Amino acid sequence: MALAKKTGKVTITASVKLVQAGSSPKSFLAVLPVYKDHPDTQNIEGFITAVFPVDQLIANALKNTIDRDISLTLEDRTTDKVDKLHTTHPEIPHNKTMKFDLPLGLIGSRNWHVEASPSDNYIIQKRSASPFIIFILALTFLSSSLIYIFRLHKHADITEKAVEQRTIELKAAKEAIERIALLDDMTGIPNRRHFDDYFMKEWKRGQREQTPLTLIAIDIDFFKQFNDNYGHLAGDDCIKRVAKGLQSTLRRSSDLLARYGGEEFAIIAPNTSDGFILAELCREKIESLLVPHLHSKIANHITVSSGFATLIPPSDSNPDKLFKMADQALYKAKSSGRNQSAAF
């Protein structure tokens, strides 16, 4: 309280154990001076004090934005004796070569740091740049949340407006993280995770409303030969151009194109009883790009094969059934000479 009165700012204590909470995790107290008219150490009326359990504070800040395979530690380094305030997922073995140390600056006169590292499992499961972007954004989101808690204003009306504005900012940050997590980092179109979520959502809608659901599986013909002869950079550029071309054929907001893996793409078309027209539009569009491929066995440019299947989702089945049907149709198109569309 003396320090808060002297500085005129919110001040927090080192970690404390609440007697009434028994063996619960650490907490801290925050003290804010209150003045009659304007900040003046000679015109002080009293103090506002509050207790913050650290675990609850971090849980509220994260709101499930940190992956379960990421270990996160909050430390108080105000003195030489480092005080570990909180550790998220201490049970997971983390990757020691990839460790982030994020200083939060002075918060209420305390010097806090966030340390975080992903587990080996996190890195193995997610093999693109996206996980690391999400990881860093999530840490930034956390630090912003923690810092904001102590930016208390001296008047209630100002505080209310600040809370409202900060809530909007945090919501936007969370939405940005979620968007990145659902996009393929190379092409910018939905990734396999987004595909799986949307597929399940539309499958359940089809079950409820008894409407047809069409799935189109698309594969670039002889892409291995393209990569082997033109190089991986050219291969990446080819995948980007194919993704852009396929995306341009979609006319309904409910249709979703995703990069399913490598040179494989998939389109979900809800409430569609026949995928032939869309599949052919996609095939013709890619052929019209005239991306050179002199090592193809069917043309001197890039082509695609596609397989499509339609089903009114039965109540006793799951999306795997429709996926296998489309995959079998794709196999039929490829075994029949490629650069064509085949139905299940």
Binned at pLDDT 50, 70 and 90, residue 128 comes out as low
- Mind listing the pLDDT tens digit for each residue in 8-43? 888 888 988 877 666 567 888 888 888 776 665 567
Rg (CA), the chain: 28
Binned at pLDDT 50, 70 and 90, residue 80 comes out as confident
Q: Which residues contact 30 (CB under 8 A, 6 or more apart)?
A: 10, 11, 12, 13, 49, 50, 51, 52, 108, 150, 152
How far apart are the C-alpha atoms of 215 and 275, rounded to whole Å? Answer: 7
Return the minimum-mean-pLDDT range out of 151-165, 229-243, 248-262.
151-165
| Residue with the larger pLDDT of the pair 107 and 197 | 197
List the beta bridge partners of residue 33: 47
Average pLDDT value over all residues in the chain = 83
- Give the up-direction half-sphere exposure of residue 209: CA atoms within 13 A in the CB hemisphere: 11
The domains of the chain are located at: 2-181, 192-343
pTM of the model: 0.55
User: Class of 192-343 per CATH?
Assistant: alpha beta
How far apart are the C-alpha atoms of 72 and 54, rounded to whole Å? Answer: 13
> Going edge to edge, which strands form the sheet with 83-88?
83-88, 70-76, 110-118, 100-107
Binned at pLDDT 50, 70 and 90, residue 3 comes out as confident
pLDDT at 129 over 70: no
Domain 2-181 coded CATH 3.30.450: yes
C-alpha torsion sign, points 289, 295, 296, 300 = positive
Binned at pLDDT 50, 70 and 90, residue 216 comes out as very high
How far apart are the C-alpha atoms of 147 and 3, rounded to whole Å? Answer: 19
